[in-house]
Amino acid sequence: MLSLSKTLAMRSVAGAKYFHAAAVQHATTALTMPALSPTMTEGTITAWKKKEGDSVVAGDVLLEIETDKAGMDVEAVEDGILAKILANGSKVAVNETIGLLAEEGDDLSKVEIPKTSAAPKKADAPAKEEKKEASVPKQQESHQPQQKASTPSSNLLSPAVAHLLLENHIKDVTKIPATGPKGRVLKGDVLAFLGKIKARPAPEPTIPQPKTLPPPSSPSVSFPSTPLRSSFTDSPASGMRKVIASRLSESKSTVPHSYATRDLTIDNMMKLRHTLADEFDVKVSVNDFLIKAASLALRDVPESNVQFGSVDNTKQLQNIDISVAVATPTGLITPIIKGADKRGLQSISETIKELAKRAKASKLKPEEYQGGSFSLSNLGMFGVDHFTAIVNLPQSGILAIGRSRTELKPPAVEEIELLSDSELLDYLGSGKNKKSSASKSAGSSSKKNKEDLDLIDFLGGSAPLKKKSTSTSETALGEEILRRLRPSLESTQVVSVTMSYDERLLDAEVASKFLGRLSHYVENPELVIL
Amino acid sequence: MSVRTFASSSVARDVNFTLHKESFSAYNCDEPSLNVSYSKDDLIKMYKSMVVMRRMEMVSDGLYKAKLIRGFCHLCTGQEAVAVGMELALTAEDKVITAYRCHGFTYMRGGSITSILAELLGRKAGISGGKGGSMHMFTPNFFGGNGIVGAQVPLGAGIAFAQKYLGQKAATFALYGDGASNQGQVFEAYNMAKLWDLPAVFVCENNRYGMGTPANRSSANTQYFKRGDYIPGLRVNGMDVLAVQQACAYAKEWTTSGKGPLLLEMETYRYGGHSMSDPGTTYRTREEIQHMRSNNDPITGLKQVLLEANVVTEDELKAIDKAARAEVDQAAEEAKASPEPDMGDFWTQVYQKGTGVPQLRGREPEEFHNY
């Protein structure tokens, strides 16, 4: 774990032998970001397992590092004390100093942080040290980044480069501007030289300018490079957001979406809910009912309980697992209620609550959100009337549930009793000449009355005739007729559901059947016991 | 590089120890005596060698993580006792051949630390000119440094054959691991060695894991010292350098007195992973590694033995530690300062002199080198 700070210290300490406690000969060792795999170039420190001042035994875990591949632990190679922590939480390039280790018995207060944090690629002294041969080629490199440096390493030609040179009879490699590490000629350089591709801009000299320690930066937001008039800030997408984005795009672009809407009357359901709550102290929500109803609809219409396997086959699912969309701070996730058709409402209610809680804490296991037959998404609590959702690949459909809204209920068609034309004309005729008709009818009143009463009975008048004190039988009849003509206005609770479905798997008929059964169970909730 | 002799026969062996009674387990032979004696010089040399080796491997670890050493790098941290104990029992005429966990053996058999580190870094000062790498290190009495698993065992039998053929009173120690012990050619080597009574000592360094596979998952018979069947064997506590030395001395005596080959199983442990690509914690727990480090470490073990026997003081040992550390660090600096080999060396040392070809093909179909 040798690095520049140590060599510097050794040289500068030569005159000051008593810099540290007498038992120790050398200064602190720099702890650098290790390359945990041959291709690793940088890593993020996720956690330090030891604090400053802790003593460390060889083999102890010092810190955890996350690379783009995996998270790994870094162990201490030898015994000592963790003197200083210099980097935490940020992305650090390989070989940058992240901490300082001291020997047991060192005076920690005298530990100084080295100015140069980057150990040069060849781990040699900085530009000042010109005595070493190895630094000479680097000097050349740092001064002439554009040209190929005449170092031995630049003579290394990869097979691809050698092949191209031979093919095109290029004898002099020095003609080609090199942009590779250590002044190496890359295949792209040769191709650019031949004019086949655009030249790559030369990389900046990375080696030994004394660098100051990188300032701690917040990892999620990077400040835009133009300081003036920046009207936006970039936030890198989290892993979850990226997955959501890719899955939604894939679904929307590959699945032929079709939509079917239906309004569900939930009066009976609400009544049952209230009964359960008031009399039996059981709390179930509208969503729980809908989950159960959807699962039963899937059971009744098994052609809708399918998954997309590939272009050639459809998977008929045996179980009915309903995915329920839950909004979490990091994104939308759909935990699954397995076997929803076989569960009772209480079980569904409790399961949903538990899954939602864990989803919000990001503690769901993969099998709890991957899979499922059908999805439900409810935006009713946000006041949305209706919306369309995107099918959750590879499921067959998703139900988008809106809010429950109060609507006036039109009476059933059977209730509107229409008078035949003659009856109406009679009435109107009798209405014009009330007196005359009254007398007329009075004449044969008994007969007409009876007829009228029969008529009313025939019209389905089960309600007893209201006898107003001043009303004549005609007025009473008229009022009764008017009453029947005027539709009775009752209010009702309605929820709009829109089913988005994969038209490859379900055709419109199946989807409609599904919605029909769903409606059936919603409007007759007691049927869930079957 | 000079060939050092390790054992200082001129100094009196006046420090006596009794090894732990479970140091050895014999198969078809007698156990060596548990009473051992050494000179103080030898003991200190052993201690220093182990400390230097440990430090050298740690420096290699750091250089690899700094991306200065690339490619394969198999470290023997924790297994130092095997190389050091063996060297004290051997002379310069004896030959050693091992597999790829060879840096420690290279050092013990005469390679300088600078040359070993430079070889890992791929520099001219390397023991193979920077052209060989981690698995290609040789000294006049050390045959490497072999990358192919188990391939070195028949070679070791061959070297023993040469020694017998040339009438040398010396032995060949051919080492392999528990992972290589099931290779077919190992048993072929056993057969030839026993058939012709070759002075071959087959040493199995059992560090319990073949890469990531525990021994009991790879071998039907994990008593590797008995695997020789008709070849007698001895199991040794490979974390105790004195036991290793005693066993190797016993083995050398056995094979050079015409009794034929002998099998040694060194029960040892590596703290690091199989190589630098392996963290070493996915197939075993950190607790196990820490346990071995705190209870069975060869360096700590020898240190305790020496302190208890009042051979050295704590300060003297600390001074040895510091000196070893400084030596290795100095060598590392020299190695890093060495330049990379130039292209002129690229086409050399491919064939033994006198057996070469007029033209050699390179990496490309059109690339040729004419000698």
CA distance A71 to A308: 35
Q: Which one of 1.10.10.10, 4.10.320.10, 3.40.640.10, 2.60.40.10 gives the CATH number of domain A148-195? A: 4.10.320.10
Name the one residue in this structure whose structure tokens are 């038992």. Answer: A23
Most A CBs within 10 Å, among B295, B336, B345, B361, to test the A interface: B336
Q: With CB atoms and an 8 Å threshold, state whether A38 touches B322.
A: no
Q: What is the mean pLDDT of chain B?
A: 93
Nearest to B364 among A152, A153, A166 (CB): A166
Q: With CB atoms and an 8 Å threshold, state whether A166 touches B366.
A: yes
Q: Give A365 or A219, the one with higher predicted confidence.
A: A365
When mean pLDDT is compared across A335-349, A485-499, B4-18, the lowest value belongs to B4-18
CA distance B168 to B206: 30
DSSP letter (8 states) at residue A271: H
Task: Examine the pLDDT at A147 and tell me if it is beyond 50.
Answer: no
Task: Examine the pLDDT at A417 and tell me if it is beyond 70.
Answer: no
Task: Examine the pLDDT at A42 and tell me if it is beyond 50.
Answer: yes
Chain A interface includes B356 (CB < 8 A): no
CATH top class, domain B23-209+218-340 = alpha beta
Q: How confident is the model at residue A219 (pLDDT cuts 50, 70, 90)?
A: very low
Q: What is the mean pLDDT of chain A?
A: 73
CA distance A109 to A99: 15
Q: With CB atoms and an 8 Å threshold, state whether A59 touches B289.
A: yes
ipTM, 2 dp: 0.71
The residue extents of the domains of chain B are: 23-209+218-340
pLDDT of residue A16: 37
Residues of B in contact with A123 (CB under 8 A): 63, 66, 68, 336
- Mean pLDDT within A308-319: 80
Let me know: does A96 contact A114? Beta carbons within 8 Å.
no
> For A456, phi and psi rounded to 5 degrees?
-65, -40
- Give this prediction's pTM: 0.56
pLDDT of residue B344: 85
CA distance A467 to A414: 25
Predicted confidence (pLDDT) per residue in A150-204, tens digit: 444 456 778 888 888 888 888 788 888 888 887 888 888 888 888 887 766 655 5
Task: Examine the pLDDT at A223 and tell me if it is beyond 70.
Answer: no
Q: With CB atoms and an 8 Å threshold, state whether A34 touches B340.
A: no
Chain A residues near any Cβ of chain B (below 8 Å): 1-3, 7, 25, 32, 34-38, 57-59, 61, 72-73, 77-78, 94-95, 119, 121-124, 132-134, 152-153, 155, 159, 162-163, 166
Let me know: does A127 contact A139? Beta carbons within 8 Å.
yes
The residue extents of the domains of chain A are: 25-117, 148-195, 258-409+493-527, 415-485
Share of chain B above pLDDT 90, in %: 87
**For residue A54, which of A62, A44, A46 has the smallest C-alpha distance?**
A62
Q: Give B207 or A184, the one with higher predicted confidence.
A: B207
Predicted confidence (pLDDT) per residue in B104-160, tens digit: 999 999 999 999 999 999 999 999 999 999 999 999 999 989 999 999 999 999 999
Please return the burial class of A471, using the count of CB atoms within 10 Å of its CB with bins 0-12, 13-18 and 19+.
middle
Let me know: does A125 contact A119? Beta carbons within 8 Å.
no
At the topology level, CATH places domain A258-409+493-527 in: Chloramphenicol Acetyltransferase (3.30.559)
Residues of A in contact with B290 (CB under 8 A): 57, 59
CA distance A123 to A510: 70
- Mean pLDDT within B204-216: 96
> For A378, phi and psi rounded to 5 degrees?
-120, 115
Task: Examine the pLDDT at A289 and tell me if it is beyond 50.
Answer: yes
CATH number of A25-117: 2.40.50.100
Task: Examine the pLDDT at A530 and tell me if it is beyond 80.
Answer: no
